Amino acid sequence: EAQVTQNPRYLITVTGKKLTVTCSQNMNHEYMSWYRQDPGLGLRQIYYSMNVEVTDKGDVPEGYKVSRKEKRNFPLILESPSPNQTSLYFCASRPERLAGLNEQFFGPGTRLTVL
Amino acid sequence: GQNIDQPTEMTATEGAIVQINCTYQTSGFNGLFWYQQHAGEAPTFLSYNVLDGLEEKGRFSSFLSRSKGYSYLLLKELQMKDSASYLCALGGYKLIFGSGTRLLVRP
């Protein structure tokens, strides 16, 4: 089944404790992206990747890191989480040909709480 | 820059028709997407417009006017399961989302 998976789905952590949220897709998509969703603010892009070893900042990259060593995986790293990073996070992917014309496929979401 | 406006909330009755509007400003247009999102779940793709006019997909239709920076999503024969948020998004290398319109369908 074609899908985007994320782990963990739920995470409660404490300020400053490094964490990684994994994202994997099995559709051979070039483009992958991370979003956070907060009430009243909608979906905001954190980072995106056009292909392996190519990443770029989205609209709200502060406090996050990403890597793209393999085509299928795009982990999101919070080196020192803070309470303002409490949010619902979505990973997404799409094929890169005809860049803007393709729908993105979203993972199920990761609900992160930083105490 | 890019900007998208949608109403925050709408209410409609089961079996009725509802139109959700989206206005946008962008320097380069690469299509407009509509997504549906149930509370706590991932957005799912509904429709895509790149040319002016109406695209119909069953109970859902989406309209685009590029000259007016305007789109709408039309939902017919509303069902209770249509209660969700509807997200308008500008296409491109970075998909830019509006804040979404929360639709409540009442019996």
DSSP collapsed to 3 states, A74-101: CCEEECCCCHHHCEEEEEEEECCCCHHH
Q: Per the CB < 8 Å rule, is A109 touching B93?
A: no
| Interatomic CA distance for residues A95 and A53, integer angstroms | 16
B92 inside 8 A of chain A by CB: yes
Cα–Cα distance list, A10 to A13, A69, A106, A110, A113 (Å)? 10, 25, 16, 5, 8
For residue B81, the SS3 value is helix
Angle at B89 between CA B58 and CA A42, to 5 degrees: 115
User: Which of B48-52, B71-75, B91-95 is modeled with the greatest confidence?
Assistant: B71-75
Strands A31-38 and B9-13: unpaired
B85 inside 8 A of chain A by CB: no
Over the stretch B11-49, which tens digit does the pLDDT of each residue have?
Answer: 999 999 999 999 999 888 888 999 999 998 999 999 999
- Adjacent-strand bridge partners of B65: B70
Q: What residues 26-65 of chain B have any CB closer than 8 A to a CB of chain A?
A: 30-31, 33, 40-45, 48, 50
